[in-house]
């Protein structure tokens, strides 16, 4: 058996909690796929020191809980796949050791709660996918301090309201996906401090109206998806600040009258 393969098999036995196994020396390992197994949890210290690992997949297991410190020995990890598990809570600081992390997949779990600080100390995170979970509430500041995040996906959850400050302090965010939730209300300031946001998807919710102040702080918005909601009317100034808007989707709502002044300045906008 080759030396690298032997090390990997030893490592797998450690993951599966086989007793009395020596720690594997996998100092050069860059990619590790443990998807579609029966792993139920990742305890702190279970993962050995893997200083070169950049890609880790634990997708399609039966993980219900992530303990803080579970990923403390992976200093170069860039991509972490945890989708298709049974995770319920994202605890504070669980990813705080992954300062090189760029992509985090958490979709298709059973997440109901994201604790404050759950995504702290992730200065290089670019993409965060949390779709197809059971999230009903976005606490103010839960996504703060992610200076390089460009793509945040929360579609197909159970979110009912977007609170003011829910997405504060995301200076690089360009794409925000909130479709297929249960959103009825969007508070003023919900999308403030998103100076780079270009694509906002709110289709297939239960929105009845859009307050003009809701969209006034995202001047770079190019694509706005509001189709398949319950919008009954459009305020004349709702889209007045969206001078860069190119695509606006409002079909399959309950709109009966569209004020003449509701059109935005952009000449490329489509309804």
What tens digit of pLDDT does each residue of 201-258 get? 999 999 999 988 899 989 999 999 999 999 999 988 899 999 999 999 999 999 998 8
- What is the four-CA torsion angle of 255, 256, 262, 263, rounded to 10 degrees? 80
pLDDT surpassing 70 at residue 13: no
At 54, list the tokens. Answer: 């950049």
Beta bridge partner(s), residue 210: none
Q: Alpha-carbon distance 235 to 213, whole Å? A: 11
In the chain, the largest separation of any two C-alpha atoms, in whole Å, equals: 75
pLDDT at 28: 86
* Cα R_g (the chain), whole angstroms: 22
pLDDT surpassing 80 at residue 269: no
> Rounded mean pLDDT of the chain?
89
> For the chain, where are the alpha helices, taking DSSP H only?
3-15, 212-215
Q: How confident is the model at residue 25 (pLDDT cuts 50, 70, 90)?
A: low
pLDDT at 21: 41
Residue 173 CB neighbours (<10 A): 26
pLDDT at 10: 45
Note whether 209 and 226 are within 8 A (CB).
no
pLDDT surpassing 70 at residue 130: yes
Listed range (8-12, 78-82, 185-189) with the worst mean pLDDT: 8-12
Q: Alpha-carbon distance 222 to 106, whole Å? A: 27
Beta bridge partner(s), residue 128: 104, 152
Instruction: Find all residues with CB under 8 Å of 103, minimum gap 6, and list them.
Output: 78, 79, 80, 125, 126, 127
């Amino acid at each position: 058996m080759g030396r690298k393969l032997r090390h990997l098999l030893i490592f797998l036995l450690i993951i599966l909690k086989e007793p009395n196994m020596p720690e594997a020396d996998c100092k050069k390992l860059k990619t590790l796929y443990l998807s579609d197994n029966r792993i139920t949890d990742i305890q702190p210290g279970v993962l050995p020191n893997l200083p070169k690992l950049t890609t880790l997949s634990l997708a399609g297991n039966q993980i219900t809980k992530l303990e803080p410190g579970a990923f403390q020995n992976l200093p170069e990890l860039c991509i972490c796949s945890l989708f298709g598990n049974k995770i319920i809570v994202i605890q504070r600081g669980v990813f705080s050791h992954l300062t090189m992390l760029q992509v985090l997949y958490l979709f298709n779990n059973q997440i109901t709660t994201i604790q404050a600080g759950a995504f702290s100390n992730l200065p290089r995170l670019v993409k965060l996918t949390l779709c197809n979970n059971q999230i009903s509430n976005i606490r103010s500041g839960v996504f703060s301090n992610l200076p390089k995040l460009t793509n945040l996906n929360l579609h197909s959850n159970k979110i009912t309201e977007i609170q003011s400050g829910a997405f504060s302090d995301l200076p690089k965010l360009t794409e925000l996906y909130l479709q297929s939730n249960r959103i009825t209300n969007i508070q003023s300031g919900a999308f403030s401090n998103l100076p780079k946001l270009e694509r906002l998807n709110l289709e297939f919710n239960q929105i009845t109206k859009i307050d003009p102040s809701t969209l006034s702080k995202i001047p770079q918005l190019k694509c706005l998806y509001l189709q398949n909601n319950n919008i009954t009317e459009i305020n004349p100034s709702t889209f007045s600040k969206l001078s860069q808007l190119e695509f606006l989707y409002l079909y399959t709502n309950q709109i009966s009258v569209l004020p003449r002044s509701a059109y935005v300045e952009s000449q490329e906008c489509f309804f």
